[in-house]
A = this chain, B = another copy of it.
Amino acid sequence: MNATGRNFGSDNVTPASPEVIEAIVAANAGSLHSYGDDPYTTRLNELASTLFETEVTVFPVTTGTAANALALATLTPQYGAVYCHENAHIMTDECGAPEFFTGGAKVIGLPGADGKIVPAQLDAPLRFAADMGVHHVRPATLSLTQSTEWGTVYTPTEVGALAEAAHARGLSVHVDGARVANAIAHLGCSPAEITWKAGVDMLCLGATKNGAMAAEAVICFDRARATEFELRRKRAGHLWSKMRFLSAQLVAYLDGGLWLRNARHANAMAARLAAGLAALPGVRLVQAVEANELFVAMPDSVIESLFADGFEFYRWATPAGATGPVVRLVTAYCTTDADVDALVVAARRHADGEPAPSEGRGRHPHPC
């Protein structure tokens, strides 16, 4: 039985759900047409259309970076601008993939509490762009992260207001949904409500962090974009020849609600961890815990002691309004009660005054 053990570094340190691996094994039989002309890919499109209550085109790819960059390149011309939160993954974590795939569009970060943008923040940069005419990149796309980089969740109303503001100015709306399942689990809404019904044009539906092996589904709500997306995917080397193995993962993920069960579990573990840590002296949550990420202020001695115990997680930037060292902890679909409780017990012991270790142990350099 898998568990994340002492590793709270990211939900991508996990293995895959048994259902996903079983689907891969089951797909490994006989010859099939390549490049997506196979029953798994057909089934995936049916499942996604049912789930989203509308006809969608699904493009499976392997990584969240590929999903985001391909979607943004389809929505944004070379001379365009993408607006996103200044801490968005597409801004800081993808080694310039959006710039590369678009052919040099500009990704413009906007500040915002709790990892969220609000519609009014679009006013100044879009007015500036309009004033500048051809001298400035052309506003093209609004990119939202759901759940956000700070573990919070946009409501359908919030997404709707943003999408309305964006569309009114001719911008398309992209959602980086690496953890959108966790957001939907938190909201209790339907996938349709938080996406196309709220005005989202293209969704990158993450699966890898929530139980897949390596699979993300770009959900194209507007079929007119599909052909261009297909060509861009091939050209970027993201079209698997043995596509069945990519689609099969996503079929297993969507069929029977695995995506939602996994996300609910991860969220529940985050809530359990939040409750346990918030009760400790000197420890404080610096963001609402709405999905499966926690941002926690705790004394440096506690952090270093936990590292010395072998727990893994990342030190994080201290958000505006908070003080002291902050860490990020991530739970996953396979985190167990025991995993959580072990961390809480250890943190309590250290918070209660046990002396800190003389030095911390090294941590893996990049979160995700």
Q: Does A299 contact B (CB under 8 A)?
A: no
Q: Does A107 contact B (CB under 8 A)?
A: yes
> In the complex, what residues of B have CB within 8 A of residue A368's CB?
34-35, 135, 241
> In the complex, what residues of B have CB within 8 A of residue A237's CB?
61-70, 94, 97, 236, 238
Q: When the two chains form their complex, are residues B96 and A105 in contact, meaning their CB atoms are under 8 A apart? A: yes
Q: Does A25 contact B (CB under 8 A)?
A: yes
Q: Determine which of B63, B135, B138 lies in contact with A238 in the assembled complex, contact meaning CB atoms within 8 Å.
A: B63
Q: When the two chains form their complex, are residues A231 and B138 in contact, meaning their CB atoms are under 8 A apart? A: yes
Q: Determine which of B67, B105, B241 lies in contact with A208 in the assembled complex, contact meaning CB atoms within 8 Å.
A: B241
Residue from A2, A61, A77, A241 whose CB has the most chain B CB atoms within 10 Å? A241
The number of times this chain is found in the oligomer is: 4
Q: A131-B365, A214-B240, A237-B236 are in contact. Are A13 and B32 (CB under 8 A)?
A: yes
> In the complex, what residues of B have CB within 8 A of residue A32's CB?
13, 15
Q: When the two chains form their complex, are residues A100 and B24 in contact, meaning their CB atoms are under 8 A apart? A: no
Q: Does A12 contact B (CB under 8 A)?
A: yes
Q: Does A37 contact B (CB under 8 A)?
A: yes
Chain A interface residue count, CB cutoff 8 Å, equals 89
Q: When the two chains form their complex, are residues B104 and A96 in contact, meaning their CB atoms are under 8 A apart? A: yes
> In the complex, what residues of B have CB within 8 A of residue A95's CB?
79, 134-137, 231, 234-235
Q: Does A232 contact B (CB under 8 A)?
A: yes
Q: Does A93 contact B (CB under 8 A)?
A: yes
> In the complex, what residues of B have CB within 8 A of residue A241's CB?
10, 12, 63-64, 208-209, 214, 368
Distance in angstroms between the alpha carbons of A276 and B233 in the assembled complex: 40
- Which residue of the partner chain B has the closest CB to A28? B15
Distance in angstroms between the alpha carbons of A364 and B35 in the assembled complex: 10
- Shortest C-beta distance, A85 to chain B (Å), equals 16
A residues 67-97 touching B (CB-CB < 8 Å) = 67-70, 73, 77-79, 81, 92-97
A residues 223-269 touching B (CB-CB < 8 Å) = 228, 230-242, 245-246
Q: A63-B239, A240-B63, A245-B214 are in contact. Are A14 and B35 (CB under 8 A)?
A: no
> Digit string of A1-15 for contact with B (CB within 8 Å is 1, else 0)?
011110101101111
Distance in angstroms between the alpha carbons of A77 and B239 in the assembled complex: 19
> In the complex, what residues of B have CB within 8 A of residue A236's CB?
66, 97, 100, 236-237
Distance in angstroms between the alpha carbons of A62 and B237 in the assembled complex: 8
Q: A33-B13, A132-B92 are in contact. Are A79 and B366 (CB under 8 A)?
A: no
Query: B-contacting residues of A (Cβ < 8 Å)?
Result: 2-5, 7, 9-10, 12-16, 18, 21, 24-25, 27-35, 37, 61-70, 73, 77-79, 81, 92-97, 99-107, 128, 131-138, 208-209, 213-214, 228, 230-242, 245-246, 364-366, 368
Please provide the 7 A-B residue pairs with the shortest distance between their CB atoms, ordered closest to farther: A66-B237, A103-B103, A99-B104, A12-B241, A65-B237, A100-B104, A95-B235
